[in-house]
């Protein structure tokens, strides 16, 4: 079955770190650009980072730039999001999505994960 499954979320204190995983099954992620999105309570989902399929080029939105890192492990068919110095404003549901058109595509995603909850609170 073709799917993306996120894991690694949880409750952390401000300043803490988490590593989220996005594991693909039924297809190989190395041919897909993979995006991380987040949705805060009461807000719509927003894209915050992307990694390209071919050369590892990445883009990260300013609010998390320097704190969040996106990377691939093709042997594990997995994309990671390493998050550090977490802030209360980072709280939300984080999901990954994949498409064959690249990080700059505005034509939507081919596959979506269900998301993993990240809660930053003291």
pLDDT in tens, 61-75: 988 999 999 999 999
Per-residue pLDDT band at 55 (split at 50, 70, 90):
confident
pLDDT at residue 106, as a whole number: 78
Least confident of 14-23, 86-95, 100-109: 100-109
User: Pairing mode, if any, of strands 68-73 and 58-60?
Assistant: unpaired
The number of C-alpha atoms within 13 Å of 86 and in the hemisphere containing its C-beta is: 23
Contact call for residues 37 and 46 (beta carbons, < 8 A)? yes
Mean per-residue pLDDT over the chain, rounded = 94
pLDDT at residue 112, as a whole number: 96
Judged against a pLDDT cut of 80, whether residue 8 lies above it is answered with yes
Judged against a pLDDT cut of 90, whether residue 24 lies above it is answered with yes
């Amino acid at each position: 079955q073709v799917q993306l499954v996120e894991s690694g979320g949880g409750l952390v204190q401000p300043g803490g770190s988490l590593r989220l995983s996005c594991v693909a099954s039924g297809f190989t992620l190395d041919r897909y650009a993979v995006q991380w999105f987040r949705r805060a309570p009461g807000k719509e989902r927003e894209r915050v980072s992307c990694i390209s399929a071919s050369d590892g080029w990445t883009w990260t939105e300013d609010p998390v730039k320097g704190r969040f890192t996106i990377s691939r492990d093709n042997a594990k068919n997995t994309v990671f999001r390493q998050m550090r110095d977490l802030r209360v404003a980072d709280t939300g549901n984080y999901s990954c999505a994949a498409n064959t058109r690249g990080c700059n595509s505005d034509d939507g995603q081919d596959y979506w994960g269900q998301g993993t909850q990240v809660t930053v609170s003291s």
